[in-house]
């Protein structure tokens, strides 16, 4: 393909690697650089032909790169990196600290407006595709009710919380939607569901040989915010079993809009969007890459500043032309 969109990846964890892989399916884009805070020589990527630079070099390369995909974490990396790099680059990030999105948006908007760049924040599937489905469902059926369920999938934050308990060597936590709750929503009943009724939590824990398992289980199940409000199951397994059976990072979930129309709301409708993802970071990365394409185009057409998935004309996500899309997909 002529003049592919030149993409750089900053941060090489699961998401960075997922982005590297997702780009292989996109011939209209080309991976041209990795940036890392580590020693560049130490980074072993899957793309030996693509140079690895120190983040300190990023600014020097600003004319060589069309979009940087920021693959850092939301806790400390992105709040600093996104506004910083939006001063020189079009960026995409997956910032997902919900309560801080408005502030993050403002910070990125300021940088990107000053530089004339475009910064698409909070991309991925939630926030991201799930957000888009909530918007569309509510816009189409204003008389209605939203439901979001997550899972079955691995929650990194909950797994980490278990690992911090004394006597725990390793752990994986799965968030699981309660099947009865899904069915009640699908039935059109519009139930009010509390936290415990929506999801259960299942934990696979590797304990130290001399650890008090009863105490560990008790500490997990009563942990405020993370587990106390849920029905939680704890399984103690060996390290080998954890590696064999729980090394994947699957996830997914459901966004449902139950709504009504008619003279007295007598007509019922149900919209349901669901994801079943073999790998959370690989799917998230696939969304980021579509967003990188959109950001590049929006910037080329003069749409600068911070954006979210709500602001992107969907055609910009696709490599196909308007004519092709209308002919093949409409």
Q: Which residues pair with 144 in a beta bridge?
A: 259
Q: Under the rule (CB under 8 A), what is the footprint of a copy of itself?
A: 18, 21-22, 25-26, 46, 98, 101-102, 105, 122, 127, 129, 131-132, 134-136, 138-143, 260-263, 267-279, 282-283, 285-287, 290, 293, 308-315, 317-319, 322-323, 325-327, 329-330
- Give the nearest distance from C-beta 260 to a copy of itself in angstroms: 8
Token pair listed for 263: 């003279």
User: In what side-by-side order are the strands of the sheet with 305-307?
Assistant: 52-54, 29-36, 5-10, 67-70, 90-92, 118-120, 305-307
Neighbours of 9 (CB within 10 A): 29
Nearer CB in complex with a copy of itself: 157/314: 314
For residue 198, the minimal CB distance to a copy of itself (Å) is 18
What single string gives the DSSP state of each residue in 30-99? EEEEEEESS-GGG---S-TTS-EEEGGGGGGGTTT-SEEEE---TTTHHHHHHHHHTTTSEEE-----GG
Q: Which is nearer to a copy of itself, 31 or 312 (CB)?
A: 312
Nearest-approach distance from CB 234 to a copy of itself, in angstroms: 28
Cβ neighbours of residue 99 under 8 Å, at least 6 residues apart?
none
Considering the complex, what minimum distance in angstroms separates the CB of residue 216 from a copy of itself?
Answer: 32
CB closer to a copy of itself, 126 vs 217: 126
Choice between 9 and 290, CB closer to a copy of itself: 290
**Least separation in angstroms between CB 101 and a copy of itself:** 6
d(CA 9, CA 29): 13
Query: Which residue, 8 or 285, has its beta carbon nearer to a copy of itself?
Result: 285
């Amino acid at each position: 393909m002529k003049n592919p969109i030149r993409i750089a990846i900053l941060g090489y964890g699961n998401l960075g690697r997922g982005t590297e892989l997702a780009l292989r399916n996109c011939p209209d884009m080309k991976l041209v650089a990795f940036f890392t805070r580590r020693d560049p020589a130490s980074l072993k990527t899957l793309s030996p032909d693509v140079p690895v630079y120190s983040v300190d070099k990023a600014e020097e390369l600003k004319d060589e790169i069309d979009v940087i995909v920021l693959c850092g974490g939301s806790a400390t990396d992105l709040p600093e990196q996104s506004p910083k790099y939006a001063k020189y680059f079009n960026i995409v990030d997956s910032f997902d600290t919900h309560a801080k999105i408005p502030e993050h948006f403002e910070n990125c908007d300021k940088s990107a407006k000053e530089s004339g760049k475009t910064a698409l924040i909070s991309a991925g599937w939630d926030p991201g595709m799930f957000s888009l489905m909530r918007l569309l469902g509510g816009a189409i059926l204003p008389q209605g009710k939203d439901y979001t369920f997550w899972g079955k999938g691995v929650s990194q934050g909950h797994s980490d919380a278990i690992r911090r308990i004394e006597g725990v060597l390793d752990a994986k936590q799965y968030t699981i939607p309660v099947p009865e709750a899904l069915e009640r929503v699908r039935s059109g009943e519009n139930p009010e569901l509390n936290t415990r009724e929506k999801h259960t939590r299942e934990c696979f824990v590797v304990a130290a040989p001399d650890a008090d398992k009863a105490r560990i289980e008790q500490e997990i199940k009563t942990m405020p915010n993370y587990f106390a409000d849920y029905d939680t199951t704890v399984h103690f397994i060996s390290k080998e079993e954890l590696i064999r059976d729980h090394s994947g990072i699957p996830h997914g979930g459901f966004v449902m809009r139950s709504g009504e129309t008619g003279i007295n709301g007598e007509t019922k409708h149900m919209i349901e969007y669901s994801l079943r993802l073999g790998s959370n970071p690989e799917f998230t990365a696939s969304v980021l890459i579509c967003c990188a394409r959109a950001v590049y185009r929006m910037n080329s057409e003069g749409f600068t500043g911070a954006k979210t998935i709500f602001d992107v004309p969907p055609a910009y996500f696709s490599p196909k032309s308007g004519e092709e899309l209308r002919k093949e997909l409409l």
